[in-house]
Amino acid sequence: MRSTSPIDKPSAPEAHSANQGQLFIISAPSGAGKTTLCRAVRKHFPEMLYSVSYTTRKPRRDEQDGIDYFFISRMEFSRRINLDLWAEWAEVYGNFYGTSAEVIDQALQAGKAILLDIDVQGTIQLLKRYPQAITIFIAPPSLKALRTRLTARATDDAQAIERRLRAAQKEMGQKKMYRHSVVNDDLDDTVEALKRIIAGYQSGQAAPK
């Protein structure tokens, strides 16, 4: 982890009262370590809620409903679009993905902290509805390092890897809209940086630079 810094936002968090919930959003290109980092954050802050996304795609062999995703039909997903029940949603490669506004609203109204693992486009939508959300972008050390990680995990063919790298380049170009940006070149250091950022907001102290 080379650096963490508030970007284009105030360096100190808003005052946090006991009855005011906080929404934390973590984004990263595919392969940058976001899932592992979110798990580490949730382990360190066990009281923090986690919003599980909904999708219309079929579950993979090792995925569990309600843990990895909530798997629902396209008809149900569309019904929720019409009722404005999604905080954000998108169609990706023919499948729909969405985040429940009800889950977020209930957590914030109850004074809870809630963590979302969302891509850049989802974050743009969420900030329209929750402008006070605390956004953190996880960046790889370089596109070359990201290519190495994507190749090593052996879950995509060469064409899919190139598609993910193109998407990553676009996402990294939008990281300035995030309050904080962290380069994940050492997992342990990056986890500590995330813990400091979150703890700073929860305590009402100045966010780390």
CA–CA gap between residue 202 and residue 196 (Å, rounded): 10
**CATH class name, domain 4-51+111-203:** alpha beta
131-172 residue pLDDT tens: 999 999 999 888 888 888 788 876 777 888 888 888 888 888
CA–CA gap between residue 147 and residue 133 (Å, rounded): 30
CA–CA gap between residue 104 and residue 23 (Å, rounded): 8
98-132 residue pLDDT tens: 999 999 999 999 999 999 999 999 999 999 999 99
Domain boundaries along the sequence of the chain: 4-51+111-203
CA–CA gap between residue 114 and residue 8 (Å, rounded): 23
| pLDDT-derived band at 27, boundaries 50, 70, 90 | very high
DSSP β-bridge partners for residue 5: 181
